[in-house]
Structures are given as C-alpha cells and as structure tokens.
Structure 1
Amino acid sequence: MSDAIEVLGGAFLLFVWHATLLLSAVWAIERLGGLKHPGWAELAWRVALFGAFASVGFEIASVRNAVWETPASAQPAVDVSASPTSPTLASATIQDAPNANRANPPKTSAASAAPLGEESATATPTKAAKATTSAPIAYAAPSRPWELDARTIEIALAIWLAGVLVFAWGTLRQAFALRRLKRRVARRGEAPSEAVAASVARLSSQMGVPTPVVHTLPDLPGPLVLSGVFGRGAILLPRWVDGLDETQRIALLAHEIAHLQRRDPLWRPLQRLALVPLFFHPLAWRAVRRLEALAETLCDRAAVERSGSARALAECLAECLARQTDASSRSRFDPSAPYRSMWAVAMAERSDGIVARVRHLLEASPMSLSSIPKSVRWGAAALALLAVLALPGVWVVVRDRDQSLQVTYRNGGTSYRMTSDMPVAGDRYRIDVRGDVEFDAGETDVVRLGPGASVEIEEKRGALLRSIRIVGENGRIARHYRVDDVARPLDADGRAWLAGAVPDLYRLTGFDAQRRAKRLLAEGGAARLLVEIDAIRSDGVRAEYLGQLFAQATLDDAQFERAVAAIEAMESDFEKRRALGIALERDLFAPTDQARLLTIAAGFDSDFERAEWLSQATPRFEIGEQERPHWTKTLAAFDSDFERRRTLERMIEAGRPQPLATAIALQSARAMSSDFERRSLLEKAADSGIAVSDTDYLQVVDAMESDFEQREALLALIRSGMPTRERSEAILRSLRSVDSDFERSEVLDALAAKMPNDAALIRAYRDLTRDMSDEARGAAERALDRFRNG
C-alpha cells in the first residue's frame, strides 16, 4: 500500500470519528430539549459540521511535530558493532507491491509510514555514517493508534472517493447554475419600483448593511438573495412584490436583507461543500438542513422586528408557496430554473418548511427571543474551537493485516510489504525501512541514511519487548533503543540483537538482492550463496536469490542439484515457476532433467502456474517415448479444462516432435469435462497441418455429449484435407453418436462433398440417414448427387 493511501486512510477515519462525535453531541443535546435559542443552535450545528476539518488538521500538525521534532537530550546514541544473531521467523507469503524492484531500489527518499515508536536521543556520529536530518512527512503514529486492516481501508476509501466525486459533481452543477442565474440577471433583470427601492435603502441603513442591488425577474416565483452580483449582494424579486401592502413589503424585504446581514449567501455554499466529504453521514445532512432552517427562522425574527407584524410575513410566505408550486409544475425538468438553484438563498424553498414557518408565525410567539450579543457569540465560538481541538487524538494506523510478522520497505517508486504469523502466539516482529538506507558489509548496522530515511525494528519474544529506531538527526545517525518501552543505551546484547535483525531484513524482503548476492559470491562463491539461500524462509526472496545465483555464478552438478532442491522445497507455485523459468532461460537444464521437471510441475497446486511453466518448457525439450508417461501424468494433474487446453495447444504448436506431442495432447483431451474446450483443441489440431491420428482425434469427439461441439469438431477434421476412405468411415462411425438430425445432416453434407466415390462408403452413408427425418434424409441424399453425375 502506498504512503498516500496510509495517510489518506488514517486522516479519513479520524475525520469520520471526530465528525460523528461532534454531530452526535449536538443532535443529542437538541433531542434532550437543549439549544432552544435558534442562535445558539445555529452556532452549535456549525461547530459540529465544520469542527472535524479543524480538529483533523490540528491533529495531523501536532502529531507531525510531536513525532519528528524530538529533543536531543534524552539518551546518547551508540555506534553498533556486533556479530549477527538471527532470530527464527515464520514462513511468509510475499506480496509484491506494484512496480516493485527488489534488486535495484532507486536512490531516492521515500515517504515514511506510521513508525513503531519514537524515542529522543542525542546523536553522535558513527565512523562510516553521514546523514541529513530526516525530513518531516505528512503523518506519523501518535501514542494512541487504532490499527485496521489495509484492504478494508482501501475498499472504504474507493467507495468514499467515488461518492465524493458524484456529490462534488452535483455541487459543481449547482455552482454553474448560480453562475448562469447571475448572467441571466445581468441580461434580463428589471429595475424595481420606486417604493421597493426606497424600502430597501431605508432597511439596509437601519440594519447596517450596504444597500444591495435589487432586480426584478418576470418568471421568478419567490425572492432570492445572491452574493457577488456586480460586486455586492443582490436581492432578486418577483413582480408580484409590487402588489404587496407596505407592511408585507417591509417584512419580505427585511427578511432578505437579514440574509445579507448574516452573510447567508456565503455560508450556504460553505455548508454544501462541507457536506461533500460527509455525504454518507446522515447527521451531516441533518446539520445542513437544520442550519438552513435556522437561518430562515432568524431572518423571520429580524423581519418581524422591522415590520412589527408576524402575520404580514406569514402571508408573504404563503404567497411564495403558491407561486412556487405553480412554477415548479411548469419548470420541473429545468435544472437552471432560478428557484432550484441550491446555492442561492430563497425565502421559501421546501414546502414543508414553509408550512411549519407559517404555523409558527401565526400560532406561537417565536419572535420574543433576544439577540445574542456579538461579543458573546465570538467568545462562545472561541470556546467551541478549543473544545474541538481538544478532541481525542486517536490516529488510525493502516496496516496490511493485523499479523504478528510485518516487514515494510519503501524507497521512491519501490514499495514492498509482507505479512505473516510468528510461530509462537503472542510474539511479534516488525521491520520498517523507509528511504535510501545502506548497511555495512557485515550486515550488523546502518552506515548511511538518505534524506528522510529511517529504519525501525520491533520484536516481542515471550515477555521481552525490544525496539530500535535509526534516523538522521542534525546530520548524524541516531539510534533510539528501548527494552520493554524503557529507553536504554545500546549495550552488547542490543548490538547482537540488531546484528541479527539486519540479515532478517535482507532475507524477508529481498532488499538489494543483486548487490548482496554479488558480494556473497565474492566472499565464498556459489557455495556461500547457497548457504544463504537455505537460510531464507520467504519463497519470493528465495526465488530472487536463486535467480541471482543462476545469473551470476557457474554451478557444478552438485551445486545445481542443490539449487533445484531449494526450488522443490518452496511452497509458492508462482515463485517455484519463476525460479525454474530463470534456470530454463539460461539453458541450465539438461535433456535428462525433463522427467524431474515434469514431476515438479505435477506437484503444483495451481493449474495456472502449471500451464505457464509447461508452456515455457515445451519448446525447450524433445519429447521421447521415455518421457511420455511423465507428460501424461503431469497433464492429468489439471483440474481446469481451460488451463489444460491452452497447455495442450502449446504442445501442438511447439512440441518436438510434433506428431508425438500432438498425440499426447489428444489423448489428454479425452479426460476433459468441457466439450467446448475439447472442440477448441481439436480445431487447433486439425488446422495445424500435422498428420493427426484419426483414432486419437475421434476418440475425443466420441467423448463429447454436445451434438453441436461434435459437429464442429468433425467439420474441422473434414476441412483439414481430402478425407481418405478410412477417415471417412471413421467419421461416419463417430457420427452415429450425434442425435440431432440437423447437426448430423451438416456433417454428412460436408463429408459427401469430399469423400471418395466408394460403394461401401456410400452404403454406410445411407445407413446413417435411415433414422433421420424425411427432410434431413432428403438433403443428405441430394448431397450424394455428385457421384451420380460424375
């Protein structure tokens, strides 16, 4: 998994966690009867909706500083030198990341993932080491991590990103609709009446708002408030506003100006944008609905205060509802209709909300609530921000699987991770290498760290927990060693433990395999490298080192036998096939090795890997009668008819000698279950130009149950050349198992056009038509007319 996925996964889960905490808290308080004042309710819901963005950003920044900017005074760093002592590890299945190249990792720094721990130390230089300070990265694990399976996180992120794209597109369409509406206002907007203009100017002055631009649109069902038209806020009014009395007009205009006073045209798109990454969260949708409803409630209060009449405002809302219903029925499918632009603030949008507001205005006394002083609001907002930043800093660390053995290596474009289980329950072993790292020749310590590089090792054996973190600090290599989570100087026991862990890194990851294999060969030749290969438990790394052995060394018979035995000991069919393929490409196998290689292939569990290996090996060996039983046994090991068929096709194409290879392939095809795969192979054999044995071919045909597939296979044999009398008789015998008159007639027609003019053959032909329908029998008889005419 890439560092970007790890960072995004951790940030996403922390974001969801904080958003859920905040939104749930406000929802619960409101359900319990709190937040009666709409102003306090609005503040609470805004903090809940936007707070997670602030808290997660703060958490990332604080974790980054806490982990990477450590003091340089807690403990001394010590040079490492000791003899290697390697712990016993579990067998592991290698999982290569895309574009992985274990042999030659590029010399570039890599982003670092969640470290296993952070210890402070004063760095002292080693003799061979020189490194720059480790560059901070986007995140590291804090002291309270949650670990989740990486595959689960990847699926969740994929679904989330798909949803974000869908909702972002919808939000973008709303923004475009608003832009079109503004252009429409510029083209078609009409000046308001003098009475409306005077009321707007007077109310704007009283409410401390710059006088907005006012326009009338002929087909607008209700008032709208926009931001940014002609550089100022704008109010769009329908023509029916001119018919209102003075009190109603003041109530309506005061409501719209209150939106501008509260900056609702700016809050509305921000709330919609905040909803995009939280599209899946039901409480986020409730937050947006509540905020929009509360904005209308507070503007209603301001309108009643200015007009002095709740009824006047209720009558305006009722008029909006009536006009909106009529307009919606006429413009239902027009997404750019002004009253459907969700970024514009409309006086009346949702019909159920309008009815509730009208009832509230007429039946209750909602306007008696006092305004919240601005200083109080700012103070409450500051306290809320502090509460948000104090949310639990739980970072979700994304790991491939929660397994006890984990090894990670990343350097630039190279990415590698493997996971497995330790042989003893409760034991744990983790190695994490990031960036350009170089170890000494004795494989006991780090001698060079590239920019941003680090090495982290953690091991728990029984009750003993040890860890070390090697990083660049202030231009030096610092080693932070801990035993049972207590910082310790790196003593002799610690040096021996580290010296054993470094070879583990090589043996578990295949890190720098090409250069290491070259060095081992220089030390002790092929025998030294074979000893190292025997010590490697990972099939993938063993295959890598065997490939280097085959590429760089000259082997005698005993050494080659030992290498093949190492291949046979592998559990992974893929790695087994890969190692065999390297040896095969270098012509290291003798003809006498053919039987052994076939036995190895027969032992594969994967039909795919067996097919791949046999397809690669087939052209390299000449098949003799002595090897025929081995080929038959290996081909019988297939469970998949598809994999068997493509292997047999390869034998027909490239087997040597072709007649024998084809005969073995046809005999193996009889064991297939799929008539389609049988027929496909027979067509390949018939079209190959090889002299195919009629007996072998037709035995495969006779094993079929499908009349259609039998017909196609027989037609392919007829097309392959002029059938002899013997082949024609064999085809007629095989055709007796075809029950369908149509399929039988098709074959008879094709055979009659090519078979020899032989009286006994014609009698056998006619005998086959006796139990056919009159129509089919007549067509078959007509096909024999060429003998009568000639």
Structure 2
Amino acid sequence: MRSDVVATWLLTLALHAGVLLTMAWIIDRGALRTHLAWRELLWRVALFGSVLTASAQCLFDVPVSARLLLPGVAGTAPAAPAPALARAIDTRNQDAASDVEDDAPAFLVSENPAPVSQVVSAQDARSNTAAPRDWRSFWHLAVIVAWLAGLLLALSRIATRWLQLSRVLVRAKPIEDAGIVTDARALAIQACMAPPRLAALDDLASPFAVRSQRIVLPCWALDLLDREQLRAMLAHETAHLARRDPIWKLATAIWCAALWFVPVAALARRRLGEIAELACDTWAARHLGDGRSLAECLAECAERRIDGFDAELAPAMAHRDSPFLQRIDHLIDGAPMHTDFSRTRAGIAAFAALALAAAILPGVGLLPARAQIPPPAPPAPPAAPSPPKSEGKHVHISADIDAFGTRHRYSTVEINDGGRGYSAKIRGEVAFNEDEDGIAKLSDDGSASFSETRGGTTRRVDYANRSGKLEERYFVDDREQAIDAAARTWIAGLIPVVIRETALNADVRVKRLLAKGGAGAVLDEIDRIESGYARSVYVQQLAASAKLTPAEVTRTIGLIGGIDSDYERRNALAALATAAPFDAMQQKMVIAQAGEISSDYERAELLVGILPKLASTPDVHEAWLRAASGIGSDYEHRRVLTALLDAGSVDDAALAHIIEGAKSIGSDYERRELLVSAVRRAGDADRIAPAYATATADIGSDYERREALLALMRAPGFGAVSARAVLDAAKSIGSDYECREVLIALARVMPADADLIARYRDVARRLSESERGAAERALDRFAS
C-alpha cells in the first residue's frame, strides 16, 4: 500500500476519532448518567468506530462535507475520469464540468479552461521537467514515522505493565476455604458462567479479575472481612468476568496506544473503566439484595490503595482512577442503574451513527492527477427511445444546494433498466416547450443534458444558455454530431419519457393537466408512469392541488398500488390521506397496501399516520391489527401497538389482541414496554391477568419481567385472579432478588386469602435464606 494513502487514512482517523469522542463526551454529560449500557455503547462506538468511518471514506471514496486535499506521491495519484475531463475542457459543457469540480479543489478549476491540445502539451512539458522537492515530497513519510514512534512507545509501556502483572500472578496462592469457594460457584451460576479460580495475594490493594477466569483477592480481605463482605467482593469480580472486562480492558489499552495522537482517547479509556466498575457494582448489589456490604468493601480498599499493587491492565474493584465516593453513594442510596438494553436497537443505533459519521464527517484526501484523453469511439446511428419498463428499474435523484441549504443549483436524475439507461442533468431553471419534446427557455448560465444508453451506445443532447442565446448540441458516445432528422426524432421521443419518468417539473405539469382535463387527466398520466418515484411525486402533487371525488380517491389508491418502493408508496398514501378523508372501504384498501409494505419502518409509519382517521368499526380495526402483526421489528411493532393504545379507543377485544401480540416481540425491553402500556389502559386487572402473566413468561430478563408484573399490581381491579397469575409467573423468575421484590410488592396488595398465602409461601420457599426471610416478613400484615 502506498505511503501517502496510509498517511491520509491516519489523518482521517485522527479527525474522526477526535470528533466522535468529543460528541460522546458531550452526550455522556447529558441524560445518560444512569443508563450504563447505553453509555458504554456510546463510548465504544466512538472509540472503535472511527476506524470504520475513516476506512469507509478512504476505501470507498464516500462523499464528505469537507475534504482537505494533500499532494500525493508524484506520478501515482489517482487520475480523474478522462471522458469527463475531455468534455469539461473541449466542449465547455457546464454540467460535465461540475463533475471535474467535484474531484478537485476550487483553486485548481479554471473559469476559462484551455483547449485540449494546450492541456495535453502542458502536461507533457511538466512531465519532462523535474519538480523541486519540498515538504510535499515527504509529508506522508513524516506522518507515518511519527505515528509508529508513538505507537511503539505506548505498546512498550503496555508490555511492561503486562509483565508486571504476570510476575505478580505467579506469587498468588490458591484459596481453598469451602465457604468462599461455595459463594463463588453460586455467583457464577447466577452470572451463567463457569466457576472462577480463586487466589490470594499479599501487597494487593483490591481484588481484580484476569482473562483466564481467575479472581485474585488480597490477603487482608480474607482476614478482616466477614462472609457477606467477601461475597460482595466476589460478586463484583464475577461481574467483571461475565462482562469479559479483562479482554475489553486490554483491547481498549492497545487501541488507545494506536490513537496516542488523539488526546480524547485517554478520556474514553477512563470513562469505559468507570462505567465497567459501576455496572459491576449494580450487578453485585442486585444479586446480593443491597449494596451496603459492597460499599464497605470499597471503603476498606480505598484505605489501602496507595501502597498496594495496582493492576492497570486487569479490572480491579478499587483501581486508582475509580470514582470511589460516587460509587459508594450509589450503593448506599440504592440509586437505580440500567445495565440492559435491546441488542437489536443498540445494533441499529450503532450502525446508523457510524454510517452517518462516514457520510458527513470531514476527511483527508489526495489531489487528483490529470490523465491524457483517449480518442472517442465511432458514432452509431440514433434510434428512437422506448419507455423504460418497471422490472429491474433503478432511479437515482440527487441535488446540489448552496452553502445555506436553501437553493437548488444542480439536479441529476438517472434511470437504469437493464441494458438501458436514461438521465437528466439540469443546472438552474428550465422551461419546456408546449409539446414537451424540447427546451424553450433556460435561466441565465443554465444548462441541461438528456441522455440515453442503449445497446452500449450513449446518445446525449446538451442545452446551454450562452449570453441569452439557447445553444443545442448532440453527441454520440461523447463525439459531437450534426442534428439531422433522425436525431430530431430521437430527441422528440427521449425528452417526454425522461420528463414523465423523472418527475421533472411535476408541479407545473400537474396544474396544466388539471386545467385541461381535471383530475382524470392527471390520473391517466400517472397510469402511464413506470417509475415508482415519479408516480409518488405526481400523486402528492395531485393531492395538494385538487379536491378529489370518492371515485377518484379510490382510483388513486389503486394506482399507488403499482409503486414498488416502500418509501414512495408510504409517502403517496400519507399525502392522499392528508388531503382527502377515506371512507371505510378506502381505509381497508390502504391498510391492505400497508400489509404489502416489506419495510417495517415504512409500514409502521403508515399505520400510525392513518390511525387517527380510521373508522371505529370492528372490521377496520381488525384489518389494521392484522397489518400491524406482520411487522418483524420489535421496536416498530411495539411502537405501532402503543400508538393504538394512545389513541384511546381500545376496547377489551383490542386490548386482549395487543397483549397476545406482545408474545411475538422478542426484545425483553420492548415487550415489557408494550405490556406496561397495555395494562395502564385496563379497567379490570382480573380480566386480563392470566393472558398478561402468560405474555411475561418468555421475558428472559428477570428485571424486565419484574417490572411488567409490578405494573399489573398497580392496575385497577387487582384481585385474587390477578394475584394468582402473578404468583404463577413469579415461580419462573431465576433471580432470587427479583422474585423477592415481586413477592414483597404482591404482599402489599393481594387479598387476605388462605389459598393465595399458601401459594405465596410455596414460591418463597424456592428462594435463598435471606431473600425468603424478607418475603415472609412481608406477610406480617395478614397476621395483624
């Protein structure tokens, strides 16, 4: 790989890492303080994701909002496309010249370029003259050497710390105390991992965990701490192993060594360490019942951390950089910390953030070199174009706007259909003639280009406004030809197809068709359009410009059914729904089309958008629910059903359907959110409790299941049937702590029924001794 390419990648990496980590720091200081899982994902994506965004820009030439161009190695810089350069210089075509301007910095593009012969001669002359050697000849080598020097220095420090840790572990002695080993195995079962190996070591400030499933405890802890405190210490370190923190900590240290030139990377490393400690504190406190014993361990470790060994590369409970006071306050106060999230949502969020960053972050590139222009291919006879078919069609629309984002200067529309392609490139404002087979007027300095590629031959007609005079030129495979009768026939056939299929001047055409033949004429035109994009644009313009009759609305809905793009179909239906109220039959037609939309997001957007306008009839609501049930995304499925709940018109049948639909949601968080939203609308908890409890049975997270059952207890009409359902659901909760919380809350609200109390005690007997005692004491209110 060339040294200048590596250097530009390193500079882009530094820029992206700095921006992403700074944004992570800003967001982390906001509303995520108690959401540890999202905070950790935020910092990891910002730290490790920069290599993906930088690589994407360098490898795939992703467009960026700004690009600093540096000189490349002489004779090896990437060449600009020869045909584009030839057209830009030889024909002075404005549209093609913009392609060259996109590839070169502004100061390299001349307002009045020289003829091709002069450019080629100048290039030949420059190639025979030795250029003076200055900083541009070795800047890339200086960047690489500096980076390698810093990397080796940082890696040597990591290696030194690793060797120190290895020497310390050699002196560790295995722990054979039966009580401690039993507690460690019990905690490992709760963490769904193999039992760790335990060892003790002198001169150790605090315990730590290492990659080989090993927990090292300080000898002073075995002598001074009681059973509960040692169990808290083990729980914290077990959480580190379950989270694979030793591996993450080493990987973070190595990657921060590679990013030594990004100062914010050190902050990210500290933040990730703090979040890991808080997450392990939360896990330990949750499985111990409270955090007081763990807080006492932290206080003891804090008194000894100054003189003891500090395991920098292993996650330690009381690392020197650990925020002790903050952690102790959280543990004593019992402040809630969220350590779980939906992996699907997290993955989508991370992918979307990195894709957006790769698209909009500035980067560093190399100045393009110019190549000689090959001779044009011989022309082929023109042929009249045929309308594009819908199968295999691809439509691309793009626009270039000014610095303020408010005015379109350039627009490009391309249609590709197998071996044929149509494109239109317009700069400025264009007006077509009455027959729409040519251009009548262009704005000052405007230009337009229409082309067709068919059978390997490309024909193009260019228009330009030259000092108020309309200029027309015709090309076959980039070679200019005279405009004869055959060329006129081809142009007259091409422009109407391109106008219709690319939705150029759609607003003007729709108004003209309305004036001539009313909405029927516009619908006839829409029926002739093959492009889903153009058909959607025409429907939206029609909906905004005319008041349609019920029959015209029904016909429009049918025409929208021919749009293959989920996005365009949703936009067209939404625009029509806004302009004209649907009757019950039309509503079912729209819902049926929503059921054919494969994109979960687009289907959800359409269903939520039409929800307030639905008729309150059982068949319409049943059709809507069927369309909603086909959404695969847990988040979108929950969002749609929650929108139905928020609409306020949910009867008992719809509520039962929503609770039943929650069973198909795989995400624990999304299912719990939907169930909680549903039970808040219930008028009688006993009527829905059995189905509700069944819907909670497949929730894997004990915390989410507990929250769902607590919401049922707060519902009106909570009685013996609901209490029995909660007890049946509580049996399958794996965490003793979460089960105890459910039982204690249930004891406050359940009726004084002997059968319920017996069931309650039967569930409590499954818990550990301390958890069972707390649950049994909650029944004291019945004794009084």
Q: Cα distance, 1:522 vs. partner? A: 0.9
Which among 539, 548, 555 is matched to residue 541 of structure 2? 548
Is the CA contact 2:696–2:705 (under 8 Å) kept in the aligned structure 1?
yes
> Can you list the C-alpha shifts for 1:599-651, whole angstroms capped at 9, x where unaligned?
21121111111111111122221454324542343233122111111111111
Following TM superposition, by how much is the alpha carbon of 1:511 offset from its aligned partner in structure 2, in angstroms? 2.3
The answer for the alignment partner of 2:454 in structure 1 is 461
Aligned equivalents of 2:394, 2:586: Cα separation in 1: 40
Q: Distance in 2 between matches of 1:474 and 1:777?
A: 91
Q: Which residue pairs with 2:630 in the alignment?
A: 637
Q: CA deviation at 1:138?
A: 8.2
| 3-state DSSP of counterpart to 2:664 | coil
Corresponding residue of 1:520: 513
Aligned to 2:272: none
* Structure 2 CA distance for partners of 1:741 and 1:393, relative to 1, 3 Å: same
Query: CA–CA distance in 2 between the matches of 1:749 and 1:588?
Result: 52
The question of 1:567 aligning with 2:567 is answered: no
Whether 1:471 and 2:464 are equivalent positions in the alignment is: yes
Q: How many Å apart are 1:761 and its aligned residue?
A: 2.3
Per-residue Cα deviation, 1:11-55 (whole angstroms, up to 9, x for no partner)? 979x75xx53289xxxxxxxxxxxxxxxxxxxxxxxxxxxx9xx9
Q: Quick check: 1:436 aligned with 2:429?
A: yes
Q: Distance in 2 between matches of 1:112 and 1:406?
A: 20
How far residue 504 of structure 1 moved from its aligned partner, in angstroms, is 2.9
- Give me the identity figure in percent: 31
CA–CA distance in structure 2, aligned partners of residues 516 and 488 of structure 1: 31
Give the Cα separation in 2 of the matches to 1:578 and 1:439. 27
Structure 1, gaps ≥5 residues long = 24-51, 70-108, 117-134, 146-266, 286-332, 334-389, 396-402
CA distance in 1, matches of 2:494, 2:114: 23
Matched, 1:787 2:782: yes
Mapped contact 2:450–2:495 kept (Cα < 8 A) = no
Aligned position for 2:91: 67
Moved more, 500-509 or 520-529: 500-509
Q: Secondary structure at the match of 2:418?
A: coil
For residues 392 and 632 of structure 1, do their structure 2 counterparts lie closer, same or farther at Cα, with a shift above 3 Å needed? closer
C-alpha change, 1:410 and 1:444, in structure 2 (3 Å) is farther
Contact 1:645 1:677 in 2 (8 A): yes
Aligned to 2:581: 588
1:757 equivalent in structure 2: 752
Once the two structures are superposed, residues 269-294 of structure 1 have per-residue CA deviations (whole angstroms, 9 ceiling, x without a partner) of: x9336766998899xx9xxxxxxxxx
Q: Contact 2:719–2:751 at 8 Å: present in 1 too? A: yes
What code does the residue aligned with 2:134 have?
Q
Report matched runs for 1:306-317 at 5 Å: none
Could you say which residue in structure 2 is the equivalent of 1:558? 551
Whether the 8 Å contact between 2:89 and 2:114 is mirrored in structure 1 is: no
Measured after TM superposition, the shift of residue 699 of structure 1 is: 2.3
CA distance in 1, matches of 2:676, 2:542: 43
Residue 21 of structure 1: SS of its match in structure 2? coil
Contact 1:453 1:471 in 2 (8 A): yes
* 8 A contact 1:410–1:434 mirrored in 2: no
- The separation in 2 between residues aligned to 1:610 and 1:601, in whole angstroms, is 6
2:19 corresponds to which residue?
none
Paired position in structure 1 for 2:695: 700
Q: CA deviation at 1:679?
A: 1.0
Structure 2 unaligned blocks of 5 or more? 1-56, 102-108, 120-130, 149-260, 262-368, 375-392
Shift of 1:747: 0.6
**Compared with structure 1, are the counterparts of its residues 468 and 658 closer, same or farther at alpha carbon in structure 2 (3 Å cutoff)?**
same
CA contact (8 A) 2:526 2:539 kept: yes
* Partner AA of 1:609 in structure 2: E
Partner of 2:677: 684
* Partners of 1:110 and 1:410 within 8 A in 2: no
Task: Give 1:272's aligned residue.
Answer: 135
Secondary structure at 1:753 match in 2: helix
Q: 2:160 matched to which residue of 1?
A: none
Deviation, structure 1 residue 586: 2.2
Q: 1:716 aligns with which of 697, 711, 714?
A: 711
Tell me how far apart the structure 2 counterparts of residues 666 and 611 of structure 1 sit (CA, whole Å): 18
Counterpart of 2:221 in structure 1 is none
- Aligned twin of 2:770: 775
| Partner SS for 2:618 | coil
Note if 1:495 corresponds to 2:519. Answer: no
Residue 470 of structure 1: SS of its match in structure 2? strand
Change (3 A) 1:703 1:537: same
SS at the partner of 1:432?
A: strand
Residue 758 of structure 1 deviates from its aligned partner by 2.4
CA–CA distance in 2 between the matches of 1:451 and 1:564?
Answer: 41
Q: 1:628 to 1:686 in 2, by over 3 A?
A: same
Q: CA deviation at 1:785?
A: 0.8
Q: CA deviation at 1:543?
A: 0.9
1:349-368 matches, within 5 Å, as none
- Indicate if the aligned counterparts of 1:410 and 1:433 stay in contact, CA closer than 8 A: no
On the 8 A contact 1:405/1:430 being kept in 2, the answer is: no
Counterpart mapping for 1:49-60 below 5 A: none
For the Cα contact (< 8 Å) 1:409–1:509, is it kept in 2?
no
1:113 and 2:98 are equivalent in the alignment: yes
> What is aligned with 1:741?
736
- The higher radius of gyration belongs to 1
Q: Please state how far the C-alpha of 1:512 moved relative to its aligned partner.
A: 2.2
Structure 1 Cα separation of the partners of residues 549 and 626 of structure 2: 30
What residue in structure 2 maps to residue 322 of structure 1?
none
Work out the CA distance in 2 between the residues paired with 1:774 and 1:668: 38
Q: Pairwise CA RMSD of aligned residues?
A: 4.5
Match of 2:286 in 1: none
Residue 169 of structure 2: aligned partner:
none
CA contact (8 A) 1:432 1:456 kept: yes
- Correspondences of 1:76-475 after superposition (within 5 Å): 113-114=98-99, 271-272=134-135, 392-393=371-372, 413-414=407-408, 415-424=410-419, 427-462=420-455, 465-475=458-468
**Pairwise CA distance, 1:722:** 6.4
Are positions 1:597 and 2:552 aligned together? no
TM-score by length of 2: 0.51
Alignment length (residue pairs): 460
Aligned to 2:156: none
Cα distance between partner residues in 1 of 2:749 and 2:732: 21
Residue matched to 2:74: 20
Q: Report the equivalent of 2:721.
A: 726
Structure 2 distance, partners of 1:727, 1:524, is 65
| SS of structure 1 residue aligned to 2:619 | coil
Cα 1:720–1:467 change in 2 (3 A) is same
TM-superposition CA deviations, 1:558-588 (whole Å, max 9, x none): 3322211121111111111111111112243
Could you say which structure has the greater relative contact order, defined with CA pairs below 8 angstroms and 6 or more residues apart? 1
The answer to whether 1:669 aligns with 2:693 is: no
Distance 2:394 2:438 in 1: 24
| Mapping for residues 645-660 of structure 1, pairs under 5 Å | 645-654=638-647, 656-657=649-650, 659-660=652-653
Note if contact 1:429-1:459 (Cα within 8 Å) is conserved in structure 2.
yes
Compute the displacement of 1:501 (Å). 2.5
Rate the CA distance shift 1:493–1:404 in 2: closer, same or farther, 3 A.
farther
Secondary structure at the residue paired with 1:20? coil
Amino acid at match of 1:67: T
Contact 1:741 1:776 (C-alpha < 8 Å) held by counterparts:
yes
TM-score normalised by length of structure 1: 0.51
Distance apart, 1:659 and its partner CA: 4.3
Instruction: Report SS of the residue matched to 2:711.
Output: helix
* Rounded Cα–Cα distance in structure 2 between residues aligned with 1:11 and 1:786: 73
Of 520, 529, 532, 1:539 maps to 532
CA distance in 2, matches of 1:140, 1:508: 37
The 3-state SS of whatever aligns with 2:98 is coil
Alpha-carbon separation, structure 2, partners of 1:136 and 1:529:
46
Structure 1 stretch displaced more, 745-754 or 270-279: 270-279
SS state at 2:775 partner: helix
**Structure 1 pair 554/646, CA: closer, same or farther in 2 (3 Å)?**
same
Shift of 1:442: 2.0
Inter-partner Cα distance in structure 2 for 1:7 and 1:639: 33
Q: Equivalents in 2 of 1:713, 1:394: separation in Å?
A: 70
Which of 561, 564, 569 is the matching residue for 1:576? Answer: 569
